[in-house]
């Protein structure tokens, strides 16, 4: 469904991504794990069109989207929940969700999806009039995910959804991600919290300083000694 071929991305003079290839099949949960600075977010930005790679290609359902602008990629239902959530702090919860549906015109369907999001995240419904900037970190993560769901994602990319959240909340967020996947959305998950990510992932790729070094099913990786040592704390 999504295929990244020989991706190379530079930040100014720095080679952030050297040569990365991976693919995601329909219905999968794929985890991309790696330490800080390995280049995870850079890959996410390249897929969403926020930065342009030096070389390589990104194919979505057989179509080359490497050169397409970020706002056009959203219309292809490839949706990203960015790192640090980036909700619109000075707009209300409901306005944030409406912005998620920015590319859509079907008012009836939008209203239905809004109810669906509120059903999945009851906390957001309680606070629909509150400004997003006043929500707690976990609520902001829920809002960012709800906002992404409003764009009707076929592929949902989540960049560090567990960042800064209490363990209990992390578990909740991950079970919601699993639910979203079960209801038919393909998921690409980028995480520093390798343990949680590998638990729910069908397959995973391990990224180290701009290169993919290991790949396998979530189960294989979680039991591999090498991964245990480097990412799972022994």
Task: Compare residues 191 and 227 and give the one whose CB is closer to other proteins.
Answer: 191
CA distance 222 to 79: 27
Say which residues have a Cβ less than 8 Å from residue 200's Cβ, sequence separation at least 6.
Answer: 29, 31, 174, 177, 178, 181, 189, 218
Integer CA distances (angstroms), 180 to 39, 62, 103, 176, in order: 26, 24, 21, 6
The three-class DSSP label of residue 45 is: helix
Positions that interact with other proteins (CB under 8 A):
48-50, 69-72, 74-75, 79-80, 82, 84, 86-91, 95, 98-100, 102-103, 133, 135-137, 140, 147, 151, 163-164
Task: Compare residues 148 and 196 and give the one whose CB is closer to other proteins.
Answer: 148
Task: Compare residues 141 and 181 and give the one whose CB is closer to other proteins.
Answer: 141
Task: Compare residues 106 and 226 and give the one whose CB is closer to other proteins.
Answer: 106
Shortest distance in whole angstroms from residue 208 CB to other proteins: 26
Bridge partner residues of 207 (DSSP):
34, 212
CA angle 213, 192, 164 (to 5 degrees): 170
Shortest distance in whole angstroms from residue 215 CB to other proteins: 27
Task: Compare residues 104 and 199 and give the one whose CB is closer to other proteins.
Answer: 104
Integer CA distances (angstroms), 205 to 115, 193, 198, 213, 216, in order: 35, 13, 10, 8, 7
Task: Compare residues 84 and 228 and give the one whose CB is closer to other proteins.
Answer: 84
Shortest distance in whole angstroms from residue 38 CB to other proteins: 21
Shortest distance in whole angstroms from residue 220 CB to other proteins: 32
Shortest distance in whole angstroms from residue 3 CB to other proteins: 21
Is residue 45 within 8 A of residue 188, CB to CB? The reply is no
Shortest distance in whole angstroms from residue 224 CB to other proteins: 32
């Amino acid at each position: 469904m999504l295929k990244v071929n020989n991706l190379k991305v530079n930040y100014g003079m720095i080679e952030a991504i050297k040569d990365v290839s991976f693919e995601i099949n329909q219905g999968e949960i794929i985890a991309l794990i790696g330490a800080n600075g390995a280049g995870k977010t850079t890959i996410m930005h390249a897929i969403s069109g926020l930065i342009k790679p030096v070389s390589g290609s990104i194919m979505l359902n057989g179509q080359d989207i490497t050169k397409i602008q970020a706002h056009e990629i959203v219309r292809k239902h490839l949706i990203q929940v960015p790192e640090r959530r980036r909700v619109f702090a000075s707009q209300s919860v409901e306005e944030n969700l409406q912005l998620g549906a920015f590319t859509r015109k079907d008012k009836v369907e939008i209203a239905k999806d809004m109810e669906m999001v509120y059903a999945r995240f009851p906390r957001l419904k309680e606070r629909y009039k509150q400004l997003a900037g006043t929500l707690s970190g976990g609520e902001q993560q829920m809002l960012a995910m709800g906002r992404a769901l409003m764009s009707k994602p076929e592929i949902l990319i989540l960049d560090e959804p567990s960042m800064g959240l209490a363990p209990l909340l992390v578990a909740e967020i991950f079970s919601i991600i699993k639910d979203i996947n079960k209801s038919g959305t393909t998921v690409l998950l980028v995480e520093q919290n390798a343990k949680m990510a590998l638990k729910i992932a069908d397959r995973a790729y391990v990224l180290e300083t701009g290169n993919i070094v290991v790949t396998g099913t979530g189960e294989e990786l979680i039991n591999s000694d090498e991964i245990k040592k480097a990412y799972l704390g022994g």
